[in-house]
Amino acid sequence: MRTALLSAAIGLSSFSCAGEDRRLEQHEKALQSLASTTRAISDAWAGGNTSGRYARTALEQTLRLVDQERAKIAGRPVTLVDPRGARLSRQADELERAIAQIIKAVGESNGDDARRIASSLQIEPGRDPQ
Amino acid sequence: MSAILDLALGIVTSIGGFVEVGSISTSAQAGSEFGFQLLWAIGLAGAMLAFLTEMAGRLSVLSRRSLAAAVRERFGIHFQSVPLAAELVLDLLLLTAELGGVAIAIKLLTGIAFQWWIVPVAAIVWLILWLSGFAVVEHGIGLLGLVTLSFVWGAWKLGADTGDIARAFIPSIPQHDVGRYAFLAVSIVGATVSPYLVNFYSSGTLEEGMTQDELWVNRVTTYGGNMFGTVVAMGVLVTSAMVLQPLHIQVESYDQAALMFVPPFGTWAIPLFALALGVGCLGAALEISLNMGYLLSQVFGWSWSANTPRVENARFSAAFTLVLVAAAAIAVLGFDPLRLTMISVALTVVVMPLLVLPLLVVMNDPKFLKDHTNGAISNAILAVLTVAGALFALVIIPLEILGG
Residues of A in contact with B107 (CB under 8 A): 57
Report whether B262 contacts A45 (CB < 8 A): no
Residues of A in contact with B116 (CB under 8 A): none
Who among B110, B249, B258 is closest to A33 (CB)? B249
Rounded Cα distance, B277 and B103, in Å: 10
B270 vs chain A: nearest CA distance in angstroms?
7
Pick from B58, B65, B68: nearest CA to B212: B58
Which segment, B281-290, B308-317, B383-392, is predicted with the most confidence on average? B281-290
End-to-end CA distance of chain B: 49
* Residue B227 touches chain A, beta carbons under 8 Å: no
- Percent of chain B scoring above 90 in pLDDT: 65
Rounded Cα distance, A29 and B32, in Å: 13
What is chain B's mean pLDDT, rounded? 90
Who among B111, B248, B259 is closest to A32 (CB)? B248
Report residue B12's pLDDT band, with 50, 70 and 90 as the boundaries. low
What is the pLDDT at residue A128?
Answer: 46
What is the pLDDT at residue B127?
Answer: 95
What is the pLDDT at residue A130?
Answer: 44
* Residue B116 touches chain A, beta carbons under 8 Å: no
B400 vs B312 pLDDT, higher one:
B312
Residues of B in contact with A50 (CB under 8 A): 262, 267, 269-270
Which chain B residue shows the shortest CA-CA distance from A30? B250
Which chain A residue shows the shortest CA-CA distance from B249? A33
State pLDDT tens for residues B141-199: 888 888 999 999 999 999 999 999 999 999 999 988 888 999 999 999 999 999 999 99
Please determine, for residue A7, whether its predicted confidence score (pLDDT) is greater than 70: no
Residues of A in contact with B250 (CB under 8 A): 29-30, 33
- Percent of chain B scoring above 70 in pLDDT: 95
What is the pLDDT averaged over residues B231-258?
96
H/E segment holding residue B48: helix B39-63
Pick from B102, B117, B84, B129: nearest CA to B324: B129
What pTM was computed for the model? Answer: 0.91
- Percent of chain A scoring above 70 in pLDDT: 83
ipTM of the modeled complex? 0.89
CA-based radius of gyration for chain A? 19
B109 vs chain A: nearest CA distance in angstroms?
7
State pLDDT tens for residues B352-361: 888 888 998 9
CB atoms within 10 A of CB B346: 22
Contacts 24+ apart (CB under 8 A), B212-220: B212/B61, B212/B62, B214/B61, B215/B58, B215/B61, B215/B62, B215/B372, B217/B3, B217/B6, B217/B7, B217/B10, B218/B54, B218/B57, B218/B58, B218/B61, B219/B54, B219/B58, B220/B7, B220/B10, B220/B11
User: What is the Cα B146 distance to its own chain's centre?
Assistant: 15
What is the pLDDT averaged over residues A27-50?
95
Please determine, for residue B264, whether its predicted confidence score (pLDDT) is greater than 80: yes
**Which residues are within 8 A (CB) of B182 and not within 5 positions of it... i.e. 6 or more apart?**
B395, B399, B403
Rounded Cα distance, B376 and B379, in Å: 5
Pick from B206, B191, B198: nearest CA to B304: B206
DSSP string for B102-157: HHHHHHHHH-S-THHHHHHHHHHHHHHHHH--HHIIIIIHHHHGGGGGHHHHHHHH
End-to-end CA distance of chain A: 53
Rounded Cα distance, B285 and A52, in Å: 30
| Torsional sign, CA B102, B107, B112, B113 | positive
Test the A interface: residue of B248, B261, B273, B336 with most A CBs within 10 Å: B248
Rounded Cα distance, B287 and B140, in Å: 12
Q: Half-sphere exposure of residue B74, counting CA atoms within 13 Å on the CB side? A: 22
Residues of B in contact with A48 (CB under 8 A): 267
CB pairs below 8 Å between A and B: how many? 60
